[in-house]
């Protein structure tokens, strides 16, 4: 799940490619994008609260929620694959990764989360971060299956 709006064509094609590839490993995989609001029209706090309401409407109490945020844990690709396997082994629950808006997550989303991950200490725009996440999730699945994509 991601907060977003208009996408550049090259990113849209990247999303499509990796989402299609991921369905081979995770048949029920879906991407959900919540339209972003314009920060200039409301306060930062109000923006985060509006995003939180939309996120909370789309998740269930039993869902495993992993936030993608610069304040989270970092893994290399092999460690991330192991982490994904651990989450998948929990079974019976939807695994939802959420990429927040420009100002991060409202307190109620942070409280609801089961974990928080970071891609890097670098800052990426949210559109590019979404593509990076999809590629890394695909990479993790190929690592778990012992396929050659990683090397």
pLDDT over 70 at 4, yes or no: no
Residue whose pair of structure tokens reads 């109000």 in the numeric block: 46
Per-residue pLDDT tens digits for 51-72? 899 899 999 999 999 999 988 9
Q: Cα(88)–Cα(113) distance, rounded to whole angstroms?
A: 16
Q: Report whether CATH 3.40.1280.10 matches the domain 2-150.
A: yes
pTM for the predicted model, two decimal places: 0.89
Every domain of the chain and the residues it spans: 2-150
For 71-80, write each residue's pLDDT tens digit.
899 999 999 9
Q: Which two tokens stand for residue 90?
A: 């929990």
Candidates 14, 13, 45; CA nearest to 133 is 14
Average pLDDT (18-46) is 84
């Amino acid at each position: 799940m991601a907060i977003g709006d208009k996408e550049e064509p090259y990113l849209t094609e990247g999303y499509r490619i990796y989402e299609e590839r991921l369905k081979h490993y995770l048949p029920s995989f879906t991407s959900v994008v919540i339209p972003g609001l314009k920060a200039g029209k409301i306060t930062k706090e109000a923006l985060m609260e509006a995003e939180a309401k939309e996120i909370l409407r789309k998740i269930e109490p039993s869902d495993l929620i992993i936030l993608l945020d610069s304040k989270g844990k970092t893994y290399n690709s092999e460690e991330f694959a192991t982490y994904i396997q651990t989450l998948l082994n929990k079974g019976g629950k939807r695994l939802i990764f959420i990429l927040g808006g420009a100002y991060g997550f409202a307190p109620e989303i942070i409280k609801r989360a089961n974990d928080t991950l970071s891609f890097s200490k670098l800052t990426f725009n949210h559109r590019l971060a979404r593509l990076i996440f999809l590629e890394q999730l695909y990479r993790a699945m190929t690592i778990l299956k012992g396929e050659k994509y990683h090397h």
